[in-house]
Structure 1
Amino acid sequence: YFVPVIIIIGLIGNTTSFVVFTSTHLRKLSSSVYLAALAVADNGFLLSVFIMWTVNIDFDLHSKPGWCQLFVFLTYFFSFLSVWYVVAFTVERFIAVCFPFKRNTVCTVTKARIIVSCMASVAFLFYNFALWTTTVTEPLEGHPECRPRAGSIKVVQVINNIDTVITLIIPMIIIIIIGRCPSTGSDASRASNVSNQITNMLLVVSSTFVVLNLPSHAFRVHHFITGLFNKALSPSQTYADCQVFFQYVYYLNFSINIFLYSLCGKNFRHAL
């Protein structure tokens, strides 16, 4: 029951956040473009997870030809965008706070929309591999399964490792480096009160991203490294259970942003 509860809360919260960032006075801020796009990406990921979860209620749309490939692609696509919209928001805040004289020319709504669109295009081009490396297998016994094609398993493994680098390691390095910048990590006298609130929101959102993403991805990295030295390694039941648990923790990252915005953003609460 944990997964559908997370999904329902997340869909309501993200939709509400999207409306706030696009239909109130906050829409005039470039940071709102990234956060509205983040809400859409998070909802897309949650809907994809929901389709995969429906196998538990005997509505297995995920294991049907066409749908299988589509939802595997969408899971990659939206998880990438969710991460990199946070990174884009982080970099935008860094520029706004540390280089205030460039804020009016660099941190604009128009440029934010262009960056959001470019990131979506990059994600589509990179992750469309899922549309041709995934298939539905029909076992002699049991239910059909959505899984990589027999001849594409090694390709998928390589891309999964690349995915770990570009959706965890690189974003985390960027976020940690910028988060340690004195001007970003504290109230800057040159920044307005609104800018300070957005910066505080950034710190909470990015820190939460690191905390909720790291355990799940750490298991992926550990499994990959140990597999290099022992091809026949089979994880224990405890290891598998922990991996599932931290996968659920990872899902929380797509559902709780509205609570973070409400906690540290007075302007967001007023707009809400």
Structure 2
Amino acid sequence: MTANVSSRIDTTTNISLSPSVAVYESLEYKTVSVFLVLLVCGVGIVGNIMVVLVVVTTRHMRTPTNCYLVSLAIADLTVLVAAGLPNVSDSLTGTWVFGHAGCLGITYLQYLGINVSSCSITAFTVERYIAICHPMKAQTVCTVSRAKRIIAGVWMFTCVYCMLWFFLVDIQVSQDGHVQCGYKVKRELYLPIYLIDFAIFYIIPLLLAIVLYGLIARILYLSPLPNHPDTSATTLRRSCREAPDSGKGGRQVRPAVMFSSRKQEHCSYHHKDCKNVA
């Protein structure tokens, strides 16, 4: 009796798992997955390339803020290319086709783009905080040359930091002959690396962004609103209408001003008669 129950359970489990495997290997699944990956990567690549071209080719667009946006766009391009190609090949072939060097390089580029994106957003947040909350200091601190140096430092630091992944991944061949790009050692050894990566490139930028944007919101909320433009324009028009009519001799001022302007015009054309006219 117990053997019959166990056989039924095993049969039910096998039946429930077999359709999922068939779905992943079906032509419909591969077509839809490849189409979605190409759509997302294509739109992202075109959009980020346009951002870079607009900022680079237009002189007045070369501002500190746009420099950080260019760095972010290049980082996003790196992630889209490094993550999109493996997904397309995995969906079509079901195996790793880029070899050992491709496994190292693609993994490195994926983490490089993600980490640079986080650092670029953090630098952009700090620049916006200085520009809004300390506008006088921003004239000397928030410059294009300084932004370029910060971006270069971010990329150099991240490039060196992500070299660790060259020693952590490798290709693996399963029993059925499928080649995959995976971990080189046990997954438990990756926990400290993931925690450090998570803290440096997610927790710290997130907390810093919350604090700085909170200060920006406080400054914008407490700053007085400018006067309504219609009020100043109405006051100006009212003063212009009342000025000629104010006072007892208000109507006599206008002819005198007109006579003086005409006399100066006459003198400009007849220099010899200026003394006589005066």
Do they fold alike, i.e. is TM over 0.5? yes
Q: Which bin holds the TM-score, normalised by the shorter protein?
A: 0.5 to 0.7
SS at match of 1:140: coil
TM-score (norm. length: structure 2): 0.63
CA–CA distance in structure 1, aligned partners of residues 146 and 104 of structure 2: 33
Change (3 A) 1:26 1:184: farther
**Structure 1: how far apart are the matches of 2:127 and 2:95?**
41
- Does the 8 Å CA contact 2:115/2:201 hold for their aligned counterparts? yes
Query: What is the RMSD computed on CA atoms of the aligned residues?
Result: 2.3
- Flag the 1:131–1:48 CA change in 2: closer, same or farther, 3 A: same
- Alignment correspondent of 2:165: 130
Indicate conservation of the 8 Å contact 2:94/2:178, yes or no.
no
Aligned residue number for residue 105 of structure 2: 70
Provide the identity percentage.
25
Partner of 1:157: 191
Shift of 1:60: 5.3
Post-superposition offset of 1:165: 1.4
State the secondary structure of the residue aligned to 1:141: coil
Q: Separation in 1 of the partners of 2:97 and 2:129?
A: 40
Q: Deviations over 1:143-184 (max 9, x none)?
A: 11111113x644433211211112221111111111111457
For structure 2, list consecutive stretches of 5 or more residues without a partner in the other structure.
Answer: 1-34, 225-278
Report the CA distance between 1:8 and its aligned residue: 0.8
State how far apart, in whole Å, the 2-side matches of 1:52 and 1:108 are. 39
Runs of 4+ in structure 1 off by over 2 angstroms are 1-4, 25-28, 58-63, 152-157, 182-190
CA contact (8 A) 2:38 2:84 kept: yes
Matched, 1:30 2:64: yes
Deviations 1:203-259 (A, max 9, x none): xxxxxxxxxxxxxxxxxxxxxxxxxxxxxxxxxxxxxxxxxxxxxxxxxxxxxxxxx
Distance of 1:101 and 1:173 partners within structure 2: 26
Query: Cα distance 1:187–1:2, how it changes in 2: closer, same or farther (>3 A)?
Result: farther
5+ long unaligned stretches in structure 1 = 191-272
Match of 1:118 among 153, 167, 176: 153
| Residue equivalent to 2:38 | 4
* Structure-2 change in CA distance of 1:123 and 1:69 (3 Å): same
Query: Larger radius of gyration, structure 1 or 2?
Result: 2
1:171 aligned partner, one-letter code: P
Corresponding residue pairs, total: 189
Match of 1:235 in 2: none
Question: Is the aligned partner of 1:148 residue 2:187?
Answer: no
User: 2:100 aligns to what SS in structure 1?
Assistant: coil
**More off after superposition, 178-187 vs 85-94:** 178-187
CA contact (8 A) 1:26 1:32 kept: no
Greater relative CO (CA pairs within 8 A, separation 6+)? 1
**Alpha-carbon distance in 1 for matches of 2:94, 2:176:** 18
